[in-house]
Amino acid sequence: MTQGPDLEAENERLRAALATAERERDAARAEARSAVTSPARGVPAGTDRPGGFLGDPRLRAALGIATVGVIVFDMAGRVLEANDTFLAMSGYDRDDLALGRLTGATLVPPEWQAVSRRVIAELQARGRSDSTEREYLRRDGSRFWGLCAATRLDDGNGFEFIIDITDRRRTEEALRRSEARYRTLFEAIDAGFCVIALQFGADGRAEDYRFLEVNPAFARHTGLDGAAGRRMRELAPNHEQHWFDLYGRVARTGESVRFMQPAQALGDRWYEVHAFRVDPPEAHHVAILFNDVTAQRRLEEALRSLNETLERQVAVRTAERDRIWQVSRDMLGVADAAGVWLSVNPAWTATLGWQPEEVVGRSSAWLEHPDDQDRTRDEIRRLAAGEPTLSFENRFRTRDGSYRTLSWRAVPFEGSLYCVARDVTDQRERAQRLVQAEEALRQSQKMEAVGQLTGGVAHDFNNLLTIIRSSVDFLRRPELPEARKRRYLDAVSDTVDRAAKLTGQLLAFARRQALAPEVFDVVARLQGVADMLDTVTGARIRVVTEGPDRPCFVRADLSQFETALINMAVNARDAMEGEGTLTLAVACGAEKPEIRGHAAARGPFAAISLTDTGTGMSPAVIDKIFEPFFTTKEVGKGTGLGLSQVFGFAKQSGGDVDVTSRVGQGSTFILYLPEVPAPAEPGYAAPADEGMAPARAGQRVLLVEDNVGVGRFAAQILGDLGYVATWVTNAEAALDVLGEDAAYDAVFSDVVMPGMGGIELAKTLRRRHPGLPVLLTSGYSHVLAQEGSHGFPLLNKPYSAEQLSRMLASAIGQRRGAPSN
């Protein structure tokens, strides 16, 4: 039930979004004509003012979508307007847009120019283009993949959605390589191997199965050609029912089984089989690893028959029996009903190293592996009761202290137990190596995913560092004009902000992010997200919203909230297979019920629900749906991370997420977030101040920072702001400096330090010096992510001198009860 990239579905959703935009555009044509004019250079007037360009509020909302790039362009390929998402994708900024640097020549690689020309031709011919996947150029020359489609506006310009699918393309390529490795292993093993899907009858018994996959060795071991995709009853109508019963038990219980059975329907052959369940239990898929042991079985049957004949004609055929007894490579033995060996053949010595006289007269318990002794005693009791052993395995200790795996067959006869054991250690080790190879393949897939994430992070950070390094090089030039100096300084500042945002996204992915909560109305935000869901869900899914007439406020990270709604909507879309009704609703003042064993809470909570008319889920799937990387989709169609983000966001925000579903009756996800009072009126908010807040004369600050580079630079900033700064490198030194008399106006401390951390230091100072302001700073701390800043003001790294000056002045001002400078 988790989401994943789907090319055709994304194309359909994009086409539906464009169709919706066209309908809404027609309804607002009169307003658009009066709002949009065309200056000489072809750029609509008022593009930088709300309501000037794209007067249609839905189109303005489209430009504000945080997850989809949007551009407006003329038929010459010049970009007239773009939203922040597209600028972030391409690495350009508003200045580049204003200067006309975004064109078809700069954004589209040469090999994709023909596609761009075709899109413009389609717009001119029929007012819209088919969706395409193509590469775009970033400002730094690197490339990204985009899924895009365009429509023509009333003024003749083009309007295009672009969704960044670079990660999806990379993931598809990685999965293709992984599948190739798996296929090589699958086809190379000598044993027969297949995956089957069980079919159960009304009485609950397995009555047939279909072959999903077979390896090349399958036909050699079974004599069945072209089995993939066909049913066993079709290939062998008289196949014995006990085979279906065995595989049905594996599918229902998940218990792997090893056995040897005859299959008369396949030419009276014998098979040694290892069967185990794969995929989710409800799929009823069973993997089978097997070998045709007909020749071995016939030899063993001949030996058993010969032994029986020898017992009946012992007087006349003793010599022949003794010869077989002596030369057999299988371990032969006769035991009494209690399991005490009466005689054993020389193969015991060849296989285990023990002489016959060391074994005869004793039970084999002293040779058995400790983990196998209980099972062996049970098997001996069955034999003594008259039940023959078709196949039984245990491990016997050899003289050198190692263990060998033995496959036993035994029959009771005239009060004794006649036993044959074959050393199958090498066969079992081969099977174990196969299992290990499969595990190695899965681990390789995980490592590829980690490598892809690491490479992406390195790529993005190197891009950001390139901008900073180049800007600093230019700033060192003494003859640099003031205007260009400001431009490079702005570039450095903006790039630092982008780097901080990237770091925050990575921490959010790991659920270790110190969220940035704010108070907002979930009713309004839900409607805003619903307006853009046509792009995600497609035209065949009807989106319905329900909510109270009054606002409902929560305090949470808005970006994470919107991402959670989109993740749940995508999950619902996939469950409905692109067609149905998705209902988004808000209930205020709700109580949170008991969820997954966690106690109920009276609230009040805002309950945001998404209900779909999809296929629904079984209880087994519901139990795992929020686990990271869990997905019921086939390989390449889902990563299993979307609903994990929803769960992490809900928990970090003091709430929870619940799901109810029944197979065939759809699903309902409910996100519970604590409800809070309405925020204060805007008039009461402190006015924004982007300037410096210098210190008053003689104000002293104790700086606590263990990083030498950061500490030295922070001390310089404090000095330039007019403070008298004292710098120490750990919390213990800070407590020594302060002593019993805090002769400082404030303490500015890092959170993560060796020994005592910043939060513990702040709590200690709160007890010892209640009036001393403490300002904390951190780039990342799991303590902050889990517990918050415990009421202390927090300045996130990287910070600017302006931010430090304002927060420090505010903290000192609050202490003195007077406004800060």
Give the domain CATH number at 633.
3.30.565.10
Residues of the chain above pLDDT 90, percent: 36
Q: Cα 641 to the chain's mean position, in Å? A: 3
Segment 526-552 shows an average pLDDT of: 81
What residues contact residue 746 under an 8 Å CB cut-off, 6+ apart?
Answer: 699, 701, 702, 772, 773, 774, 775, 808, 811, 812, 815
Domain boundary among the residues 268, 292, 316 is at 292
Residue among 568, 626, 537, 633 nearest 175 (CA): 633
Q: Which of 103, 135, 164 is the last residue of a domain?
A: 164
Q: What is the mean pLDDT of residues 380-408?
A: 88
Structural domain range at position 93? 7-164
Predicted local distance difference test score (pLDDT) of residue 691: 58
Distance (Å, whole) CA 498 – CA 501: 5
Tens of pLDDT, residues 709-719: 888 888 988 88
> Is 430 within a domain?
no
Q: Is residue 637 part of a domain?
A: yes
Among the listed residues 677, 667, 567, the one whose alpha carbon sits nearest the alpha carbon of residue 622 = 667
Q: How far apart are CA 517 and CA 621, in angstroms?
A: 32
**Is the pLDDT at 638 greater than 60, yes or no?**
no
Query: What pLDDT sits at residue 789?
Result: 63
Average pLDDT on 326-336 reads 91
pLDDT of residue 62: 58
Residue 23 has pLDDT above 60, yes or no: no
Please provide residue 791's backbone torsions phi and psi, each rounded to the nearest 5 degrees.
Answer: 85, 0
Residue 386 lies in a domain: yes
pLDDT at residue number 460: 60
CA atoms of 492 and 500, how far apart (whole Å): 12
Between 205 and 467, where is the model more confident?
205
**Whether 67 contacts 74, CB under 8 Å:** no
Residue 511 has pLDDT above 70, yes or no: no
pLDDT reading at 271 higher than 70: yes
Helix (H) or strand (E) holding 240: none
Provide the token pair at 48. Answer: 């930088």
Q: CB-hemisphere CA count at 13 Å for 632?
A: 21
For residue 9, pLDDT over 60 is answered with no
pLDDT tens-digit readout, 545-582: 888 888 999 998 887 888 888 888 888 888 888 789 99
Residue 231 belongs to domain with CATH number: 3.30.450.20
The stretches of 337-424 forming alpha helices (DSSP H) are 347-352, 356-359, 373-384
Q: Based on the fold, state whether residues 238 and 309 are members of the same structural domain.
A: no
pLDDT for 43 equals: 36
Does 145 map to a domain? Answer: yes
The torsion defined by the Cα of 583, 584, 587 and 590, in degrees rounded to 10, comes to 90
List, for residues 136-150, the tens digit of each pLDDT value.
999 999 999 999 989
Q: What was the pLDDT predicted at 512? A: 54
* Widest Cα–Cα separation across the chain: 121
| Number of domains present in the structure of the chain | 6
Percent of the chain with pLDDT over 70: 78
Kindly write down the DSSP assignment for every residue of 543-588, as one continuous string.
EEEE--SS--EEEE-HHHHHHHHHHHHHHHHHHTTT-EEEEEEEEE
411-441 burial, b if ≥16 CB within 10 A, otherwise e? Answer: bbeeebbbbbbbbbbebbeebeebeeeeeee
pLDDT at 528 > cutoff 90: no
Q: Are residues 454 and 335 in the same domain?
A: no
pLDDT band of 515, cuts 50, 70, 90: low
Average pLDDT on 794-820 reads: 75
Mean pLDDT of 437-455: 59
Same domain, residue pair 354 and 480: no
Question: Is 108 in a helix, a strand, or coil?
Answer: coil
Q: Which helix (H) or strand (E) holds 319?
A: helix 314-327
Over residues 55-69, the mean pLDDT reads 66
Residues 6+ apart with CB under 8 A from 202: none
64-82 core/surface letters (b: 16 or more CB in 10 A; e: else)? ebeebbbbbbbeebbbbbb
What are the backbone dihedrals phi and psi of residue 316, each rounded to the nearest 5 degrees, phi first? -105, -15
- 152 and 176 fall within a common domain: no
Q: Which residues pair with 144 in a beta bridge?
A: 136
| Ramachandran category for residue 747: left, alpha or beta (phi over 0 → left; psi -120 to 50 → alpha) | beta
- Domain boundary (619, 647, 674) is at 674
Q: How confident is the model at residue 297 (pLDDT cuts 50, 70, 90)?
A: confident
Per-residue pLDDT averaged across 770-789, rounded?
A: 72
Spatial distance between the Cα atoms of 106 and 113, rounded to a whole number of angstroms: 10
Pick left, alpha or beta for residue 204 (phi over 0 → left; psi -120 to 50 → alpha; otherwise beta). Answer: left
- Mean per-residue pLDDT, 510-524: 74
Tell me, yes or no, whether 285 and 312 share the same domain.
no
H-helix or E-strand containing 59? helix 57-63
- Best mean pLDDT range from 5-9, 93-97, 560-564, 812-816: 93-97
Q: Looking at the domain assignment, is residue 682 inside a domain?
A: no
The average pLDDT across 300-311 equals 76
Residue 362: the pLDDT is 93
In terms of C-beta distances under 8 Å and separation of at least 24 residues, what long-range contacts does 470-479 make, across chains too? 471/495
Place of tokens 């003794």: 322
Is residue 450 classed exposed, middle or buried when 0-12, 13-18 and 19+ CB atoms within 10 A define those classes?
Answer: exposed
pLDDT at 1 over 50: no
- Rounded (10°) angle between helices 758-768 and 731-738: 20
Q: Is residue 666 part of a domain?
A: yes
Among 520-529, 633-642, 723-732, 733-742, the range scoring the smallest mean pLDDT is: 633-642
Tell me what pLDDT residue 604 has: 92
- 771 or 334, higher pLDDT: 334
> Average pLDDT for residues 486-508, to the nearest whole number?
68
Q: Which residue has the higher pLDDT, 743 or 470?
A: 743
**174 or 637: which leads in pLDDT:** 174
The answer to whether residues 527 and 662 belong to one domain is: yes
Tokens representing 536 are 């995600």
What is the distance of C-alpha 554 from the center of its chain?
27
Q: What backbone phi and psi angles, to 5 degrees, belong to 400?
A: -85, 5
Q: Does residue 414 register a pLDDT over 60?
A: yes
274 band by pLDDT with thresholds 50, 70 and 90: very high
Mention every residue, 6+ apart, whose C-beta is less than 8 A from residue 408: 379, 389, 391, 392, 393, 394, 419, 420, 421
Q: Is the confidence at residue 769, as pLDDT, over 80?
A: yes
- Verify that 317 and 280 share a domain, yes or no: no
Burial of 212 (0-12, 13-18, 19+ CB in 10 A): middle
Residue 706 sits in a domain whose CATH number is: 3.40.50.2300
pLDDT of residue 173: 78
Most confident of 56-65, 423-432, 476-485: 423-432
- Looking at the structure, tell me whether residues 68 and 124 fall in a common domain: yes
Residue 496 included in any domain: yes
CA gap 123, 120 in Å, rounded: 5
Q: How many residues does the chain have?
A: 821
Looking at the fold, whether 286 and 306 belong to one and the same domain comes out as: no
* Same domain membership, residue 313 and residue 373: yes
* b/e burial code for range 468-479 (CB count within 10 A of at least 16 → b): beebeeeeeeee
Distance CA(61)–CA(311), nearest Å, equals 93
Per-residue model confidence (pLDDT) at position 558: 84
Residue 197, pLDDT above cutoff 50:
yes
Question: Could you tell me if 384 and 468 lie in one domain?
Answer: no
Write out the E strands in 616-723: 656-661, 667-674, 700-704
Distance CA 658, CA 424 (A): 50
475-486 mean pLDDT: 81
pLDDT of residue 526: 85
In 3-state terms, what secondary structure has residue 100? Answer: coil
Please tell me the pTM assigned to this model: 0.34
**For residues 658 and 641, what is the distance between their CA atoms, to the nearest angstrom?**
17
Which has more confidence, 292 or 685?
292
* Start-to-end Cα distance in the chain: 55
Kindly state whether residue 433 falls inside one of the protein's structural domains.
Answer: no
Domain identity same for 546 and 665:
yes
Strands 580-592, 541-546: pairing kind: parallel
Q: Which amino acid is at 377?
A: R
Indicate the Cα dihedral angle 192, 193, 195, 200, nearest 10°.
Answer: 40
Q: What radius of gyration, in Å, describes the C-alpha atoms of the chain?
A: 37
Beta strands across the sheet bearing 389-397? 341-344, 331-336, 416-423, 403-413, 389-397
- What CATH number should be reported for the domain holding residue 446? 1.10.287
Q: Is the backbone peptide bond immediately before 604 cis, with ω within 30 degrees of 0?
A: yes
Q: How confident is the model at residue 42 (pLDDT cuts 50, 70, 90)?
A: very low
Q: What's the whole-number average pLDDT of the chain?
A: 80
Q: How confident is the model at residue 106 (pLDDT cuts 50, 70, 90)?
A: very high
